[in-house]
Amino acid sequence: MKELKGKKIVITGASSGIGERIAYEVARAGAVPILVARRTEKLKEIAESIEKESGNRCYAFPLDVSNEHEVERVFKEIYKQVDNIDVLINNAGFGIFKSFEETTVAEVKSMFEVNVFGLVACTKAVLPMMRQRNEGQVINIASLAGKIATPKSSAYAGTKHAVLALTNALRMELANTNIQVTAINPGPIKTSFFDIADQSGNYVKNVGRFILDPEKVARKIVATIGTSKREVQLPVWMGLGPKIYALFPNLFEKIVGKKLSQK
């Protein structure tokens, strides 16, 4: 973790959940967290708490990543205040677990605007400077849902499929540079994500024993900073699912389909 000391790390969706925990982890490692999220007061509270705990400077910038023009404005301000960005962690995102027929077009659009277009806008905001310096890292928090689409999460899975495709293509485009591009594919995590995604509580109840500890997930994500890892599956054993699905899709859907429908 020594190599993180002094690194400037932007974390989107940093006002709660995994984003908040990542911010504390990088600060403990001596890095400078730059928090980005919509909730101004919550961001301020977290920044003050991190500075008190770690003794490091922590920046906070209110931003709705789905607003392209605001992304441009805020990232220009970030560069004015911190000179450079070493790592961008695209963590902002949300899901709504409903059947395709129940999900409105507006809900689908809103998920794509945050999960995909927000990620695109933030990445485009940092790439020119990373190119100029020929160093940096972009870490995109995708999901195992991006590997295996499941019932009642068609739109959410669609956004994460898109994130993985963008991540893989960008990695290849930057192959001849010192800019690393990493995808993180976690399974379900015990955070406030499910307050919106799973309002019935059925999904959390049915997958309770598989839900990941957010602190451990945050530590795993932070451990990828400065590495050349292309993709990380969390937990590792869940990464077997997509491989089996790719080889035997019909059999996988017949056997596992009912379990995946429990939302």
Query: What is the pLDDT, as a whole number, of residue 97?
Result: 87
Other beta carbons within 10 angstroms of residue 22's beta carbon come to: 27
Average pLDDT over residues 17-24: 95
pTM score, whole prediction: 0.89
Q: Is the pLDDT of residue 137 over 70?
A: yes
CATH of the domain at 165: 3.40.50.720
Under 8 Å between Cβ of 120 and 166: yes
- pLDDT digit string (tens) for 140-189? 999 998 998 888 889 999 999 999 999 999 999 999 999 999 999 997 66
Query: What is the pLDDT, as a whole number, of residue 117?
Result: 98
- pLDDT digit string (tens) for 38-49? 999 999 999 999
Average pLDDT over residues 214-226: 93
Query: What is the pLDDT, as a whole number, of residue 1?
Result: 47
Q: Is the pLDDT of residue 263 over 70?
A: no
Average pLDDT over residues 182-203: 67
Residue 128 structure tokens = 């020119």
Q: Look at 1 and 155; give whichever has higher pLDDT.
A: 155
Under 8 Å between Cβ of 62 and 95: no
| Short-list 260, 198, 210, CA closest to 238 | 210
Residue 260's identity, in one-letter code, is L
Cα-Cα end-to-end distance for the chain: 38
Query: What is the pLDDT, as a whole number, of residue 215?
Result: 87
Q: Is the pLDDT of residue 65 over 50?
A: yes
Residue 80 structure tokens = 């004015």
Query: What is the pLDDT, as a whole number, of residue 210?
Result: 61
Q: Is the pLDDT of residue 62 over 80?
A: yes
Catalytic residue positions, numbered: 156
* The total number of structural domains that make up the chain: 1
Average pLDDT of the chain, as a whole number: 89
Query: What is the pLDDT, as a whole number, of residue 246?
Result: 84
Confidence band of 202 (pLDDT split at 50, 70, 90): low
Q: Is the pLDDT of residue 119 over 70?
A: yes
Q: How far apart are CA 96 and CA 114, in angstroms?
A: 12
Query: What is the pLDDT, as a whole number, of residue 44?
Result: 95
What domain range includes position 227?
2-260
